[in-house]
Amino acid sequence: MDLSDSAKPAGLVSNKADSPGVASLLITLIITLVAVASVVIFSGGTGTIEFTWEVAAVALVTAVTIFFLIRFIISRFVQSRLDAVYRIVNSVTDSRRKRSLKNVERQVLEWARERETEIKELRDTEVWRREFIGNVSHELKTPIFNLQGLVLTLLDGGLEDESINRLYLKRAEKSINRLIAIVEDLQTISRLESEANTLRISRFSLLRLIEEVIEANEVRAAEKKISLSISAGREPCIVEADRKRIFQALTNLVVNSINYGRSGGYTDISLTQFGEKVLVEVADNGVGIEEEHLPRIFERFYRVEKHRSRDTGGTGLGLSIVKHTIEAHGHKVMVKSKPGEGSTFSFTLTLA
């Protein structure tokens, strides 16, 4: 919406020429001129009028009376129109607010700008809602359809066939576990959004926490021949945060780097203290991310390579959980990445 002068509604570009006082004065002058002309005509056309102070006084009183009468009528008319505008702008009629042509332009334009912002936010939310519903449906559809196929096969006689019944039940268990993982991750994000102020803040060693994250993912990394390392001093680096949430966020970042890492590559977690904060960086030399995808990688279910991403077994919610976790602590998570060179995710925490 362009709110320049050329796009403003008529009557809002300038309010000086539209005030009741100016309009009343113009109408009064016109009436006075008509009255003078009438007197000249009825005086025989000679144009001679006997002037006395009494006539001047009566003329002045008449003109002033006409002026204020017309001003009153115009003001009432304009006021009724302004009331309609204010009811739209302010939703309710506020009798205490001064309504005048002097400030109506400013308030109407402010209202228009606010509505423009709200409309844009609503449109963005609608786009996000459609994408989210589509992504959720797609993510849930795959394991559900797998379960349906496996169950139908077992019901059609496969249950009695010992060569496939156990195999199909194990596959069904994997699909169920995937559904459970998606639901649990969605619940985690929901809690982080609605309970940001209920974090269980405590003091703990961030270095020790990182060591636990690496120990928990050593087997996964070994399967892809990826080395896990820590670049930090021997200081424990005590921070104030929710230990459980930070453990999950770091685990998600490490697992993500392993899933998209190269065979024989590395994942390194570094700590850099400055002032009252510590910078945590999780870097790898994996496949990297195209620049066009970077602004959206923290969205729920957003995948850079959809088919390849599902093969990794993730839910598509890991980075979204990281984002909500760090933001719940009052910080931001950032990412730097180049295709073919790797990615670096970083965030800060408050030192104890």
Q: What is the pLDDT of residues 207-260, one digit of tens each?
A: 999 999 999 999 989 998 999 999 877 778 899 999 999 999 999 999 999 988
Q: Based on the structure, what is the number of domains in the chain?
A: 3
DSSP letter assigned to residue 9: P
Whether 225 and 238 share a structural domain: yes
Distance CA 272, CA 283 (A): 13
Q: What is the pLDDT of residues 289-308, one digit of tens each?
A: 888 888 888 887 776 665 44
Whether 182 and 205 share a structural domain: no
CATH assignment of the domain containing 184: 1.10.287.130
Q: Which one is predicted more confidently, 321 or 159?
A: 321
Q: Which residues fall within 8 angstroms of residue 290, CB to CB, at 6 or more apart?
A: 304, 339
Whether 224 and 280 share a structural domain: yes
Q: To the nearest 5 percent, what fractions of the chain are helix, strand and coil?
A: 60, 15, 25
| pLDDT of 56 higher than 50 | yes
Whether 344 and 210 share a structural domain: yes
Tell the burial category of 253 from Cβ atoms under 10 Å away from its Cβ (0-12, 13-18, 19+): buried
Q: Which one is predicted more confidently, 286 or 86?
A: 286
Distance CA 334, CA 347 (A): 6
Q: What is the pLDDT of residues 124-163, one digit of tens each?
A: 777 767 766 776 777 778 788 888 888 888 888 877 888 8
Query: Does 56 map to a domain?
Result: yes
Whether 181 and 271 share a structural domain: no
Q: Which one is predicted more confidently, 202 or 20?
A: 202
Whether 207 and 281 share a structural domain: yes
What is this structure's pTM?
0.58
Strands 277-284 and 266-274: antiparallel
Q: Which one is predicted more confidently, 343 or 1?
A: 343
pLDDT given for residue 190 in this prediction: 76
Query: Does 104 map to a domain?
Result: no
DSSP letter assigned to residue 95: T
Whether 186 and 223 share a structural domain: no
| Closest CA relative to residue 316, chosen from 190, 201, 181 | 181
CA trace torsion 49, 50, 54, 60 (10° rounding): 20
Whether 343 and 204 share a structural domain: yes
Query: Does 109 map to a domain?
Result: no
Residue 287: give the domain boundaries. Answer: 200-350
